[in-house]
Amino acid sequence: EPRLSIGKTGGPAATIRGVTTDFPAATILGYPRIGPGRELKHALESYWAGRTGRAALEEAGRRLRAQTWARLHELGLRAPGALPSNTFSQYDHVLDAAVAVGAVPERYRGAADPYFAMARGADGLPPLRMTKWFDTNYHYIVPEIGPRTAFAASPDKPLAELAEARALGHATRPVLLGPVTLLRLARAAPGAPGGFSPLDRLDDLLDVYGELLSALAPHAAWVQLDEPIAVVDGGSPALRHAYRRLAALTARPRLLVATYFGDAGDALPALAVAPVDGIAVDLTHGVPRNLGLFEGRTIVGGVVSGRDVWRTDPDAARALLAAAGATAVGTSCSLLHVPYTLRGESALPESSKAASPESSEPASPESSKAASPESSEPAGRESSKAGLPEGLAFAEEKVAEVVSLAALGPKEGPLPQRPRAAGTLGVESRAPYAAREQAQRDLGLPPLPVTTIGSFPQTGELRAARAAVAAGRLPLAGYEARIEEEIARVIAEQEALGLDVLVHGEPERNDMVQYFAEHLDGFAVTRNGWVQSYGSRCTRPPILHGDVRRPAPITVRWATHAQSLTARPVKGMLTGPVTIVAWSFVRPDLPLRDVTLQVADAVREEVRDLQAAGIRIIQVDEPALRELLPLRKEEQEEYLAWAVAAYRRATSAASPGTQIHTHLCYSDAAEVLSAVDALDADVTSIEAARSAFAVAGFDRGIGPGVYDIHSPRVPERDEIESRLRAALATIHPSRLWVNPDCGLKTRTYDEVRAALSNVVAAAGAVRQSV
């Protein structure tokens, strides 16, 4: 006799040892909201541009919600409470949560549209900060909470979505961000006294959550409270306190606390002492400890991953459900992080055959995988990808998996083993820095050399040319000639400005990861696999599904063309192995470490070929080094060790006379600073000069960005000069480089010329005095 059984989808609710709970047998924790055709993106951008009004934006949202519920219902999420609501957002669900509790900073209240003013800034008012949502590539708006934040419940949005769904015939389960996660993700409001932490306001906030829950109670049987922070700080007294108080409310719906992005074992005792009615756990990391404490309550087993694009093995999933004592089947987290559907991806095995013409960034036409007549496809290349779609599941396919697993129910069996990295990690070393520095003298660089991070503005004309060649309207040779012209223009600009180390400007790249994915074996790219990154911004992550190999040089022709046009050194420009895997969906059958090392080998071949072609300076970007840092402290050291090893492997082919640069997109690198040092790059450029102290003690080349490229503002020569002088307080003049804080591709040529000429002038002035 099975320990428990799960009710048939759409039929009776889950049954635990004969006890029927009223939680549906199948559910998902959340769903993408940008729209299968990025409808929300288009509606937002048209609203922001003033082309359409509020009403059109609201209408677009209403239509997307109705479509989503209808589709999910069709896929089998039919029992009352199986469909989540309030998971739609016009911009960000954390911002929505801040609004729902009244945490709107005073300075935004007078704006014409306070919500978008917080999200994007308005009338000289900078937006709230934005940062990464746990270890995903989604970014949320950071709420500001101070001692005087006047919390007030505004349940309008969850209530309206409930009513809207009800009118369409769906009894939904509203999803709210949990109070502890909200406070832990918030920052102290500017002006808050030192030592204040938003968590100090927990009791006040719980009053407001009490009001939100009682407003929802008459309309919803269950409410889901998302507490992913439980995985990070499991044992925290805040969780215990919060859920004791919320569960003790008299007028409340049943509470499902959703923990995700890892093993919630440490948090379960705190949540179990409170009489919350159910818990959702992420089983893709194994079965957490302490689940037995929830016996007799709803346990949603998150066996279908919301973080990857792979099909779920039904036997392994059923064994996990059995081992966890799950009473319902769910996704490990919201499906926000995966594309909508495989439908329309019929070209996947041949993957990067010209992207759809309406996509804003088509596949790189000169890619050897592109379907242009000129492309010569090495025999057998595609065969490794045959059958790829059958191994994939995007959001819709994952919903179908949840539904069918719920119908099958748990079944004891062997638990899946996550692949573990075996074997020792060899860390490759180049010659000692002193010898490299000596060997690089003949580059003939002045003190405080001026350079850029790689990309120059990408014109609409270039993007149009890419689309034209993808659509067969422009021959490949014509496109390549356009790229060469663009490189010549970028070189001429830099010579005129007086930069010391030039770049080719990256005009051939649609994206710094996708471009490489298109040129490496083992990757596929989708036509329409967009995933929301923040607000209206989406990315189309490549799918790393097979062994990675570099069939042919990728960047060499562009770098050598650039170098042929100038006597100054041109810096070759590559994306590092950690960043390539961080921004892709990665095969699950090998440890991430080993996949990254394969990518490192491919990058190493490119480094070797660039060097052989006479390129003396090569930058290997790792802006995502910190992004992959595991959430749990005890896993961080192991990650950093292999991330460093991968980078060093990628750069180890460089002879002492070849100068290796790296670039990281942040300066607040406290947790990874020693790893950045261990990369052993000859020159490291980082974001924001504000924290020059962070790089004190760095004894190789360092370029703390001298101005912020994310803003259109042109920096004054004086301010750059004073930043450089401040940097010289901690950095030896022979080690200091001068550069913007990131690539220039989002700026205009006018902005770039004005800014860089001030940078060159400032560097020249400071050079006089060292």
Residue 454: name its binding partner from Zn ion, ligand GLN, none (Cβ under 5 to 8 Å by kind): ligand GLN
Rounded CA separation 185/199 (Å): 10
**How near is the Cβ of 135 to ligand GLN at its closest, in Å?**
18
If the CB atoms of residues 5 and 360 are measured against ligand GLN, the closer one turns out to be 360
Q: Which residue in 617, 665, 686, 766 binds ligand GLN (CB under 6 A)?
A: 665
Contact flag: residue 457 with ligand GLN (CB under 6 A): no
Residue 232: name its binding partner from ligand GLN, Zn ion, none (Cβ under 5 to 8 Å by kind): none
Q: By CB neighbour count within 10 A (0-12 exposed, 13-18 middle, 19+ buried), where does 225 fall? A: buried
Rounded CA separation 684/414 (Å): 47
Segment lying near ligand GLN (by CB under 6 A), choices 127-135, 164-172, 424-432, 450-458: 450-458
Identify which of 173, 157, 29 has the alpha carbon closest to the alpha carbon of residue 101: 157
Rounded CA separation 367/726 (Å): 45
**How near is the Cβ of 75 to ligand GLN at its closest, in Å?**
37
If the CB atoms of residues 516 and 530 are measured against ligand GLN, the closer one turns out to be 516
The 8-class DSSP code of residue 363 comes to: P
Rounded CA separation 495/174 (Å): 58
Q: Site mask, Zn ion, residues 137-166, x = CB under 5 A?
A: ------------------------------
If the CB atoms of residues 178 and 454 are measured against ligand GLN, the closer one turns out to be 454
Catalytic: 710? yes
**How near is the Cβ of 759 to Zn ion at its closest, in Å?**
16
Segment lying near ligand GLN (by CB under 6 A), choices 50-58, 180-188, 210-218, 452-460: 452-460
Q: Site mask, Zn ion, residues 661-680, x = CB under 5 A?
A: ----x---------------
| Alpha-helix runs per DSSP H in 325-459 | 395-408, 433-439
Single-letter code of the amino acid located at 105:
P
| Alpha-helix runs per DSSP H in 456-591 | 460-470, 476-497, 514-519, 556-564, 577-582
Contact flag: residue 72 with Zn ion (CB under 5 A): no
Backbone torsion region of residue 325, taken as left when φ is above 0, otherwise alpha when ψ lies between -120 and 50, otherwise beta: left
Placement of tokens 């929505």 in the chain: 96
If the CB atoms of residues 467 and 742 are measured against Zn ion, the closer one turns out to be 742
Q: What is the DSSP string of 426-451?
A: -----S-HHHHHHHTGGG-PPSS-B-
CB atoms near residue 363 (< 10 Å): 27
If the CB atoms of residues 342 and 573 are measured against ligand GLN, the closer one turns out to be 573
Per rule CB under 6 A, count of chain residues that contact ligand GLN = 13
If the CB atoms of residues 330 and 703 are measured against Zn ion, the closer one turns out to be 703
* Nearest residue (beta carbon) to ligand GLN: 743
Q: Is the dihedral of CA 74, 80, 84, 88 positive or negative?
A: positive
If the CB atoms of residues 305 and 575 are measured against ligand GLN, the closer one turns out to be 575
- Taking each helix axis from N to C end, the angle separating 556-564 and 592-612, rounded to the nearest 10 degrees, works out to 30
Rounded CA separation 318/736 (Å): 57
Q: What is the DSSP string of 675-739?
A: HHHHT--SEEEES-GGGGGGGTT--SEEEE-SS-TTSSPPPPHHHHHHHHHHHHTTS-TTTB-B-
Residues in 739-758 that interact with ligand GLN by CB under 6 A = 742-743, 745
Residue 512: name its binding partner from Zn ion, ligand GLN, none (Cβ under 5 to 8 Å by kind): ligand GLN
Rounded CA separation 752/531 (Å): 30
Placement of tokens 């792979």 in the chain: 310
Residues in 599-658 that interact with ligand GLN by CB under 6 A = 621, 623
Contact flag: residue 738 with ligand GLN (CB under 6 A): no
Single-letter code of the amino acid located at 632:
R
Q: Which tokens go with 548?
A: 């990675």
Residue 339: name its binding partner from ligand GLN, Zn ion, none (Cβ under 5 to 8 Å by kind): none
Q: Site mask, Zn ion, residues 698-737, x = CB under 5 A?
A: ----------------------------------------
Residues in 482-541 that interact with Zn ion by CB under 5 A = none
Contact flag: residue 105 with ligand GLN (CB under 6 A): no
Q: Which tokens go with 103?
A: 């945490």
Residue 595: name its binding partner from Zn ion, ligand GLN, none (Cβ under 5 to 8 Å by kind): none
Rounded CA separation 645/597 (Å): 8
Q: Which tokens go with 480?
A: 């390549």
Identify which of 575, 366, 352, 574 has the alpha carbon closest to the alpha carbon of residue 465: 366
Q: By CB neighbour count within 10 A (0-12 exposed, 13-18 middle, 19+ buried), where does 485 fall? A: exposed
Q: Which residue in 189, 573, 625, 650 binds ligand GLN (CB under 6 A)?
A: 573
Q: Which residue in 213, 742, 752, 763 binds Zn ion (CB under 5 A)?
A: 742
CB atoms near residue 629 (< 10 Å): 18
**How near is the Cβ of 119 to ligand GLN at its closest, in Å?**
21
Segment lying near Zn ion (by CB under 5 A), choices 94-102, 382-390, 604-612, 740-748: 740-748
**How near is the Cβ of 573 to ligand GLN at its closest, in Å?**
5
Identify which of 683, 201, 665, 715 has the alpha carbon closest to the alpha carbon of residue 436: 683
Residue 702 CA, distance from chain mean position: 26
Rounded CA separation 745/494 (Å): 15
Residue 556 CA, distance from chain mean position: 29
**How near is the Cβ of 760 to ligand GLN at its closest, in Å?**
18
Residue 484: name its binding partner from Zn ion, ligand GLN, none (Cβ under 5 to 8 Å by kind): none
Q: Which residue in 93, 184, 482, 663 binds ligand GLN (CB under 6 A)?
A: 663
The bridge status of strand 19-20 relative to strand 15-16 is antiparallel
SS3 243: helix
**How near is the Cβ of 638 to ligand GLN at its closest, in Å?**
25
Q: Site mask, ligand GLN, residues 507-526, x = CB under 6 A?
A: -----x--------------
Residue 363 CA, distance from chain mean position: 20
Looking at 139, 170, 710, 732, which residue is catalytic?
Answer: 710
Q: Which residue in 81, 84, 278, 454 binds ligand GLN (CB under 6 A)?
A: 454
Q: Site mask, ligand GLN, residues 464-503, x = CB under 6 A?
A: ----------------------------------------
Contact flag: residue 366 with ligand GLN (CB under 6 A): no
If the CB atoms of residues 231 and 706 are measured against ligand GLN, the closer one turns out to be 706
If the CB atoms of residues 137 and 197 are measured against ligand GLN, the closer one turns out to be 137
Per rule CB under 5 A, count of chain residues that contact Zn ion = 3
Residue 621: name its binding partner from ligand GLN, Zn ion, none (Cβ under 5 to 8 Å by kind): ligand GLN
Segment lying near ligand GLN (by CB under 6 A), choices 38-46, 449-457, 459-467, 541-549: 449-457
Rounded CA separation 1/248 (Å): 36
Rounded CA separation 454/433 (Å): 24
If the CB atoms of residues 355 and 742 are measured against Zn ion, the closer one turns out to be 742
Q: Could you give the residue numbers annotated as active site?
A: 710
Residues contributing to the site for ligand GLN (CB under 6 A): 453-455, 506, 512, 573, 621, 623, 663, 665, 742-743, 745
Residues contributing to the site for Zn ion (CB under 5 A): 623, 665, 742
